[in-house]
Structure 1
Amino acid sequence: MTMVIKRSAATKLRNLLALSGAGTVVFTGICVYKENAKFYSSVIMPTMHKILEPETAHNLAVTTLERRLLPKSKFKDPENLSVNVFGLKFSNPVGIAAGFDKDARAACGLWDIGFGFVEVGSVTPRPQPGNDQPRLFRLSEDQGVINRFGFNSEGHDVVLARVKAIKAANPKAILGVNLGKNRTSPDAAQDYAQGVKVFGPLADYLVINVSSPNTPGLRSLQGREELKKIIGTALEARSQMTRKVPILLKVAPDLSEDDREDIALVVNTKEWQIDGLIVSNTTTSRPKNLESKWQAESGGLSGRPLREKSTQTIREFYKLTQGKIPIIGVGGIFNGSDAIEKMQAGASLIQIYSAMAFEGPPVVTTIKAELSRAMAHNQVDSLVELIGSDHRMQ
């Protein structure tokens, strides 16, 4: 009799655990389907951080989006979020920064969750593995990330095949390609020009990335003479094409005043005038208030610790270019207020990356909804009214 009772109790316990597990799965599924931002930021993302190393979690996120396992966002972009930049109409100004989808695997999944545009890369002409692991560090206490990937890339040929398929299936979705140079390349200008020739016929815009801190000597290419050669060679490659694809330059936040003035002098000159700037890449500086044990790791720091520095760099470049060259603002954007701050400083579009690592996919909708509501509350009808408004009040 005792044995029967024990077995019955054990069976009930197993059934209870199974029911609890099933309930947890169902509840989680409902929260994912409903894009529950709080559940992601307080449960899903912290759990992933506890059980997965940063690069493993990153690869899992890319694979999930590549296979389009997440439900499509149900948020419909309101008209006040649409903006025309580079001759393109963006349904909303929120894009994913280069570095997340390096090899153009996840673009369709990223559009599914609400991004207004996707930038893939950096893509190098020849495949290269990048730096040794570990090369990605999560600064949880600071909501920041340090990476030293070093332009790991499958190369032009592999990425080109994917871009062709993506654009064929999604001709109206906006796709940018970020171009890098090979680590051992003897001629950086030719690497970038090759990227223009390969991706120019397909991409909606191209980015010359000379600001990653993880490829030796790359940031020195932001000097005046080096930049003239790189931009000039890229523009010459574009001139031989039937399609004038917009070409942007991505710059670092760690530039001196003289450095910024040199860059502005080049891009303001007709001979080397590009179509836009991306401000900014990651920073090699380390704010004194960082708390994470990973703060001393080498590489580029992104996320919240970069927010103020990137905003100030946007502000400076907007002034130096007199607002005539569109800017994509990047660095520490986690909510609608951060987005507004970047746009008021001079950004026409914004990009996020680190916020996805801490807040999960719903952060895209959060930023868009908060931005739209703030505009409506302040009777701002168009993003154009926001862009550079800090400067008009001075």
Structure 2
Amino acid sequence: MNAKKNIWRKVSSAVLVSCGGFGFFTALSVYKENEQFYRNVIMPAVRKLDPETSHNIAIMAAKYRIFPKTKFVDGSNLGTEVWGLHFPNPVGMAAGFDKQGEAIHGLQDLGFGFVEVGSVTPLPQPGNPQPRVFRLVEDEAIINRFGFNSDGQDAVHKRLSEFRKKNSSALVGVNLGKNKESPDSVPDYIMGVQKFSDVADYLVINVSSPNTPGLRDLQGEKPLEVLLENVLSARDALPAPMRRPLLLKLAPDLTAQERKDVASVILKKKCKVDGLIVSNTTVSRSPSLSSAFREEPGGLSGKPLSKLSTHLIADMYLLTKGTVPIIGVGGISSGQDAYEKVRAGASLVQLYTAFTYHGPPIVSRIKRELDQLLREDGMSSVAEAVGKDAQKYLQSGANS
């Protein structure tokens, strides 16, 4: 009996030591932003979970600041000025990740230069039925049809107000959507501008999600003109300190004529937005997609969107003659991807899907690689590179 007890103690001790050792190694790897450990251990484990469940866990981890603060220090040439705001680096978290404004502090810790919250609708709404998120692992892509699931403006505004009491310097954008059942879209966007102007650094009019029926129709020339004229008028009626930069988020599926129509509208004085976000998800499906989920309805994001969004950035940069700053988003998973967006015409960039595949270390890697590329080309700032290759990317898009 004593011999059996001794064996059991030894086995128990060995298990405890092994578990403790693995736990220590895991904690150390996370602390050191070990990208290989994330790639080979953490992210494959996360992908065993339902996509929406893993998204909610990531939000909670960022909300409670479980991820350690990044050790990467932004170089001076990564800093940039847009809309009179100083961005410590040009890499932001795109809208769609922190929909309810819960995780800004944690995302700051990971090294994002700015965070965009939303989309936020005036009234709470549940969004589309589940399942509504699908991983296309083989294509490093995601299809989602969330449908503006939102806690509503009051709840999100309350969270951002509390956040501002503790952190007044963080750069936060708020992406505005409309309620699915709203008979008129214009008042919904006006409400958002009026509601969030005291807590946001910039505001986004999102008329490009494919998951709200009829929303993309607002990108048409006449509807867009009516919308922007009214929303900008409401913004300009606010006290001067609360007149935030107003951006328009576009779909990557616009035809050549639709792009020209958008440009003609936003260059009109009464409709002149302060910036564009290019682009939202796509409803197109490349024949190269290999995942079993490739035909799921919804918006596709990730690597397959990369060229499409870069070409649209270049097109809109040239159509607006570089007078409207652009945030480039779509398929960024490396410093090279980010640099291409910048050289196509983007002053800032955002990511989301790559973060879900690679985890927190990707933020520092993109910044490190971008910094190196700028230096190799003899540039001392991101601003120097903006639009340098717009014509080239537009031409490559026409030939692709």
TM-score grouping bracket, smaller chain normalisation: over 0.9
Residue 84 (structure 1) aligns with: 81
Partner of 1:314 in structure 2? 313
Partner of 1:296: 295
Alignment partner, residue 28 of structure 1: 26
Deviations 1:209-246 (A, max 9, x none): 00000000000110011101111111111111113210
Count, aligned residues = 391
Q: Deviations over 1:52-88 (max 9, x none)?
A: 1100000000011001111111111110000001111
Post-superposition Cα deviations, 1:356-390, rounded to whole Å, max 9, x if no partner, equal 11100111111011111221222211111111010
- The aligned residue for residue 385 of structure 2 is 386
Paired amino acid for 2:37: F
Letter in 1 for 2:169: K
Q: Distance in 1 between matches of 2:2 and 2:385?
A: 73
How far apart are 1:147 and its partner, in Å?
0.4
Question: Which residue number in structure 2 is paired with residue 253 of structure 1?
Answer: 252
Q: Does 1:220 align with 2:217?
A: yes
> In structure 2, how many angstroms separate the alpha carbons of the residues matched to 1:89 and 1:148?
34
Matched residue type, 1:358: Y
- Give the whole-Å Cα distance in 2 for the aligned partners of 1:114 and 1:45: 19
1:329-376, Cα deviation, whole Å (9 max, x unpaired): 000000100000100100000000001111001111110111112212
| CA distance in structure 1 between the partners assigned to 2:14 and 2:136 by the alignment | 38
Structure 1 distance, partners of 2:391, 2:385, is 10
Rounded to whole Å, the distance in 2 between the matches of 1:249 and 1:41 is 34
- Taking the TM superposition and a 5 Å limit, the aligned residue runs for 1:39-78 are 39-50=37-48, 52-78=49-75
Aligned counterpart in structure 2 of residue 13 of structure 1, from 3, 7, 11: 11
Match of 1:366 in 2: 365
Amino acid at match of 2:23: V
Structure 2: gaps spanning 5 or more residues: 396-400
Match runs of 1:1-394 below 5 Å: 3-50=1-48, 52-242=49-239, 243-391=242-390
Q: Which whole-Å CA distance do the structure 1 matches of 2:84 and 2:221 have between them?
A: 28
In 1, the alpha carbon distance for the partners of 2:201 and 2:164 equals 10
How far off its partner does 1:392 sit? 7.2
Q: Distance in 2 between matches of 1:42 and 1:227?
A: 46
- Specify the SS of the correspondent of 2:204: strand
Aligned 8 A contact 2:117 2:175 in 1: yes
Q: CA RMSD in A?
A: 1.2
| Structure 1: distance between partners of 2:307 and 2:168 | 36
Amino acid at match of 2:7: A
> Residue type matched to 2:91 in 1?
V
Q: How far apart are residue 251 of structure 1 and its match?
A: 0.3
- Take 1:41 and 1:208, find their aligned partners in 2: how far apart are those partners? 35
Query: 8 Å contact 2:314–2:391 — kept in the other structure?
Result: no
SS at match of 1:389: coil
Counterpart amino acid of residue 25 in structure 2: F
CA contact (8 A) 2:315 2:390 kept: no
- Structure 1 residue 323: Cα displacement: 0.7
Q: Equivalent residue of 2:92, what SS?
A: strand
TM-aligned CA deviation for residue 262 of structure 1: 0.6
Distance 1:13 1:372 in 2: 50
Whether the aligned pair in 1 keeps the contact of 2:79 and 2:87 (CA below 8 Å) is yes
* Structure-1 separation of matches of 2:97 and 2:55: 8
Query: Which ranges of structure 1 fall in alignment gaps of 5 or more residues?
Result: none
Q: CA deviation at 1:17?
A: 1.6
Counterpart residue identity of residue 269, structure 2? K
Structure 1 runs (4+) deviating above 6 angstroms are none
Using the alignment, how far apart are the partners of 2:7 and 2:289 within structure 1? Answer: 52
Residue 302 of structure 1 aligns to a residue in which SS?
strand
How far apart are the structure 2 equivalents of 1:391 and 1:292? 32
**SS of residue paired to 1:249:** strand
SS in 1 for 2:226: helix
Higher mean C-alpha deviation, range 90-99 or range 196-205: 196-205
Deviation per residue, 1:107-149 (Å, 9 max, x gap): 1111111000000000000000000000011111111011000
**Are 2:332 and 2:354, in contact at CA under 8 Å, matched by a contact in 1?**
yes
Return the alpha-carbon distance in structure 2 between the equivalents of residues 105 and 223 of structure 1. 33
Percent pairwise identity: 52
User: Any conservation in 1 of the 2:336–2:370 contact (CA below 8 Å)?
Assistant: yes
| Aligned counterparts of 1:140 and 1:26: Cα–Cα separation in 2 | 29
TM-score w.r.t. length of structure 1 = 0.97
